[in-house]
Amino acid sequence: MPEAVLIRDAVPGDWPAIWAFMRVIVHAGETFSWDTDTSERAARDGWFRWHGGARGFTVVAVDGDGTVFGTAECGPNHAAHVASASFMVDPRHAGRGVGRALGEYVMDRARAEGFRAMQFNAVVETNTPAVRLWRSLGMDVLATVPDGFHHPADGYVGLHIMYRRL
Amino acid sequence: MPEAVLIRDAVPGDWPAIWAFMRVIVHAGETFSWDTDTSERAARDGWFRWHGGARGFTVVAVDGDGTVFGTAECGPNHAAHVASASFMVDPRHAGRGVGRALGEYVMDRARAEGFRAMQFNAVVETNTPAVRLWRSLGMDVLATVPDGFHHPADGYVGLHIMYRRL
């Protein structure tokens, strides 16, 4: 894990550093079901959609120098009392605990903000590091949408819906 | 069922007739997990979000006089090959087959447009007419989010995730 990783609310000025790795992840199309040609504008509007009053938050994981390692966004899923969240970690910093730090932070903060449960709607079943991480944070697979995701190499694979009470 | 019910693409001029019953349904908060004080602007933007190029469609069910009985919207859920859809029927015309007509139309059209499956993300389990209707159209309960919906009279109830291949 990067030393002294800090998780704080994202500000507009973080966007270029976020997009630098988000574009790589989105364009690869292996873990996120966004269009692989999602525009920077659409990505930014979506990721920062909680700004401006809506209940929810967008955070970044940074080190002491301000380098952005990863990011997460969290807000209401359908109803106001169940949260959902999305996470992206710079692939150059994978396996160093950034995702876990973000996950723990988001669970705690969602609970503190009054959400009663966390639901992830689309966890690609072949993304085993993510599935293992979310399980270790208490998330269970509620259901798997058959062939819910089209992986560029593996073809159609299942999409887990994961859930835990907070 | 209303005589000669026709299902056609919605046009902007349909909005006032849609909102006349949509506001009643949304404000009641018994079947949709939208904020009960959702603004007309937000509702319209959401319901018509497929207009302007995005893959998806919004339709209305009308009779020969042009009276709007119900409406549905359908588009990609997460990935491009799985659709989701939402339906609203004027409560004054409930139980007359408008929902079924809309459901059958949406399934057929989604299939024709290349979607491989249909997924409903939030069917309130106490909304038994809807659950029964969707089951009769081939939708199965993939999972139920525990306490996923807060019903104004019944309190926390489950939220079904329903699914079928197309």
Residue B108 and residue B81: Cα distance in Å, rounded? 15
* pLDDT above 80 for B54: no
> Number of A:B CB contacts under 8 A?
67
Whether A78 and B150 lie within 8 Å, measured CB to CB: no
Please, what sign has the CA dihedral across residues A72, A105, A79, B122? positive
Contact B47, B100 (CB under 8 A): no
SS3 A3: coil
Count CB neighbours of A25 within 10 A. 16
Would you say residue B4 has pLDDT above 80?
A: no
Give the chain A residue whose CA is nearest to the CA of B78. Answer: A33
> Distance (Å, rounded) from C-alpha A140 to C-alpha B143?
12
Is residue B34 scored above 70 in pLDDT? yes
pLDDT digits (tens, 9 = 90+) for B110-157: 999 999 999 999 999 999 999 999 999 999 999 999 999 999 999 999
Q: Does B83 touch chain A (CB under 8 A)?
A: no
A149 touches chain B (CB under 8 A): yes
Give tens-digit pLDDT for A26-80.
999 999 888 888 899 999 998 998 766 668 999 999 998 889 999 999 999 987 8
Per-residue b/e over B105-120, b at no fewer than 16 CB within 10 Å?
A: bbbebbeeeebbbbbb
d(CA B30, CA B82): 26
SS (H, E, C) A5-62: CEEEECCHHHHHHHHHHHHHHHHHCCCCCCCCCCCHHHHHHHHCCCCCCCCCEEEEEE
Helix (H, G, I), strand (E, B) or coil at A124: strand
Percent helix, strand and coil across chain B, each to the nearest 5: 30, 35, 35
Contacts of A160 in chain B (CB under 8 A): none
pLDDT for residue A81: 92
- CA of B66 to nearest chain A CA: how many angstroms apart? 33
**In sequence order, what DSSP letters do the residues of A126-155 get, joined into one string?**
T-HHHHHHHHHTT-EEEEEEEEEEEETTTE
Q: Do A148 and B35 touch (CB under 8 A)?
A: no
* Distances B38 to A25, B9, B48, B103, B160 between C-alpha atoms, Å: 34, 24, 15, 24, 22
Closest Cβ–Cβ partner in A33, A78, A150 for B33: A78
- Burial status of residue A108 (CB atoms within 10 A of its CB: 0-12, 13-18, 19 or more): exposed
* CB count in 10 Å sphere of residue A122: 21
CA distance B147 to B159: 7
- The shortest C-alpha distance from A11 to chain B (Å) reads 25
Tell me what ipTM this predicted complex has: 0.84
The per-residue pLDDT for A53 is 60
Do A117 and B161 count as a contact with CB atoms less than 8 A apart?
no
Q: For chain A, give the percent of residues with pLDDT over 70.
A: 96
Using one digit for the tens of pLDDT, what is the confidence trace for A66-91?
Answer: 899 999 999 999 878 999 999 999 99
Question: A1-5, A135-139, A152-156, B96-100: which range is least confident on average?
Answer: A1-5
Predicted TM-score (pTM) of the model is: 0.89
